[in-house]
Structure 1
Amino acid sequence: MPKKKGKKKTSNADFTLNDCANALKPVGRVKKSFVSEDVPEKTWEDLEDDDLDVIEEVNADGTKNFVYKNKINHSKCENISDQTGIVYPEIVWYLISPYIKPEEVGNFARVNRATYAITKRESFWRALYRRYCQNHPKLPEKLRIENSYKLYGLRQRVIRALHHTYDVFVRKILQQATQESRPHQLVKRRCVNVWYCKGQSYWFVYFKLKKSNPEKRITTIDFIEELGRIDANPEVDSQVMQVTCQNFYEVPPLMGMTLSSVSVMLSQGFRHHKLLLGFNTGHYNISRNVIPECSVVIDTVVSILVYDWWHPKYPNFENRLPMMDEESLPVLKKDFFTLCNGDL
């Protein structure tokens, strides 16, 4: 009797090893199974434009078919960013703050407004000082605040103290000392001060450079509010370049001028370096092709180091309230050379 022809059964299961290696006949390319989403059957009267979308899909074998899929509710997606998550009371963040390490203070302040407000409090910075700096033998006397109730610049003093006592910051400074300094990054900064110091074997020439801010406007200062500024830092955006050389080189007055070029080359004899600095009066047209109005050449250079305001060797003075805009009148302190020689 002839065999009855029946419908082939289709299976959505993946093919096995018997379908290929152990097959009795050569097997051609096996089509990948495709499972489409089950959409409830609806009559044309039940279908509405707001419910489903007709989407064209391409199968593995290249054939195309049209399926119905639920529309994406864009209004819900737009409202996700507007949804507020779990808002914890500020006391929770305050209880967490004593466990924040000094290198994570910046990340902690960016969590939310409550954490940022905590980092603006006196208690937060004094707690950091007590944990890592208080009674530390390596902490200089000028940075000790055990018996000081001064709020102005408290954050700056604690950060500077941490770079003397906190191991992570101390290792970071030691690593930077072994690396080559980059004086070229000081281009387009305004010169605030220039001074000299005589060491035991070398001369030290210092250039204090501050980042120019032409959009800054001179505003009146409320001294009552200024006294309570914990985050006050007159040395922000300032760096000091220390040039160590064998001989004394006189530098002309450069206060108010902008550093336009820096070049470091080998000096005659190939034992030392020669530093060439170019300065201009303006800061708008500083480029590589500009001709410097004032050039400074320092020969027999042994080393060039750049210090940030938090570095232990940065020449900081005791914080004072700004009586006038620092940008307009740079002043060299009378007792600077005494302090500098003592630090060396």
Structure 2
Amino acid sequence: MPKKGNRKRLKFKPGDICSESVTVADYANADPAVVKSGRVKKAVINAVEKEVKLLCGLEASVGAVDEVLSSALGVTGDTSESSDDLEAESEEDENESKSVRKKKNKIKESESYDGGEYPVDIWLMLSAYIRPEDVCRFSLICKNAWIVTCTAAFWTRLYRRHYSLDAELPFRLQPKCIDRMQCLRACVIRSLFLLYEPFSLRFSKVPILPESTPTSLLNSKCLLFWVTKVSGTRPEAMWEFNFKFLKQQRQSKNGNTNSLCLPRQYEDVHANPDSDCYLLRVFTLNFIFTPVVMGMTLTTFAINVSTDMRHHRVRLLFQDSPPRRGRRRVEHCGLQVVLDPVHSVRLMDWWHPQYPYSACT
């Protein structure tokens, strides 16, 4: 290797280096965001060295090229030593960045777990400004917010906030009957579908015949079945077939049907004998004899076009027990109820104003 004093420095002209191959970002003043250490990596140095050799024809003069690169890149001494130093510095920077990230993650975890717990009285004050449709969101904030929605004070205030003197309510939903603790939540929810306009508008938009056959009744148990004659309608005789179903309750992994345990002092407030019940009301033009299906499970529910092509036809298939998982239901087994011709079909939940309420609710 020639000494440093005997090396010849090369003078490059601006037009000798191709601007497309070598850019300003490849030098020592490159963006630190691209290179963590603020210096050029060894791979970039080798690429620049190879480009300079090809452009200037200096394949043999290795020493001169090293000097030019060292002077251009601001590196003193041997390039191999500097590259080793760069690698060591980059490893140190990576280790420091990893330690900083771990500290930040620990801080975030501690901040996420550490939080302030407000008393129930504050959540009870905030509940006075909650809309009826936001009760579920409010109860999911924290445990104390959920406890507030279980209290009788919450449901009583919600009822008085939307009650008006000119409202037409049945006797069981009047303010005198609302003061009792038994089934308070169910009574307030039913009254809101008569007092609160966003809830009452839902029933006006429901068509006489559903657009598609509802599947929520499948595998539901029939609790009651009765037939009544409707007068004052066209045609003169119209029969009403009512089926009260209890939907199948899904058990949790622990075997409990209800994973949410209410406090004992609020069990009377949340009591509702009509919970998880549906009412299927079918209006026909004439009386149709139907077998007794109480206690059986509905496995098939279909709404088709009647034989006269002017009305509809409802087909219900009841079996003694719901089909097991993974097995197909047998169509020829069980009791079949066919209602034809059908004028209208309505499916009502327990909070519907026309739902036949129990004596205690």
Query: Shared fold (TM-score greater than 0.5)?
Result: yes
Deviation track 1:55-97 (CA, whole Å, cap 9, x = no partner) reads x9x99xx99x865322131871783486222333332222111
8 Å contact 1:181–1:306 — kept in the other structure? no
2:73 match: none
1:79 and 2:79 equivalent? no
| Aligned with 1:168 (options 188, 191, 198) | 198
Q: Deviation at 1:147?
A: 5.0
Deviation track 1:160-212 (CA, whole Å, cap 9, x = no partner) reads 00001101101122223466363333111011011111112321101111113
8 Å contact 1:134–1:144 — kept in the other structure? no
- The secondary structure found in structure 1 opposite 2:304 is strand
1:248 match: 287
1:280 and 2:311 equivalent? no
- The secondary structure found in structure 1 opposite 2:315 is strand
- Larger helix fraction of residues: 2
1:111 and 2:117 equivalent? no
- The secondary structure found in structure 2 opposite 1:138 is coil
| Aligned with 2:230 (options 199, 204, 222) | 199
Q: Which amino acid aligns with 2:347?
A: V
Structure 1 unmatched ranges of 5 or more: 9-25, 42-55, 219-224, 321-344
Closer/same/farther in 2, CA of residues 310 and 136 from structure 1, 3 Å limit: farther
Structure 2 unmatched ranges of 5 or more: 1-8, 49-86, 258-263
| Aligned with 1:259 (options 281, 287, 298) | 298
Structure 2 CA distance, aligned partners of 1:304 and 1:106? 30
Q: Deviation at 1:252?
A: 1.2
Structure 2 CA distance, aligned partners of 1:241 and 1:120? 30
**TM-score normalised according to structure 2 size:** 0.66
Closer/same/farther in 2, CA of residues 136 and 101 from structure 1, 3 Å limit: farther
| Aligned with 1:270 (options 301, 309, 329) | 309
Q: Which amino acid aligns with 1:205?
A: F
Structure 1 CA distance, aligned partners of 2:269 and 2:282? 33
2:335 match: 294
Structure 2 CA distance, aligned partners of 1:241 and 1:181? 15
The structure number with the bigger radius of gyration is 2
How much identity, in percent, do the aligned residues show? 28
Structure 2 CA distance, aligned partners of 1:30 and 1:172? 70
8 Å contact 1:258–1:281 — kept in the other structure? yes
| Aligned with 1:5 (options 5, 11, 26) | 11
Q: Deviation at 1:149?
A: 3.4
- The secondary structure found in structure 1 opposite 2:216 is helix
| Aligned with 2:216 (options 180, 185, 198) | 185
8 Å contact 1:152–1:227 — kept in the other structure? no
Pairs aligned (count): 277
Closer/same/farther in 2, CA of residues 238 and 185 from structure 1, 3 Å limit: same
- Larger strand fraction of residues: 1
Q: Deviation at 1:283?
A: 1.4
Structure 1 CA distance, aligned partners of 2:13 and 2:180? 92
8 Å contact 1:240–1:306 — kept in the other structure? yes
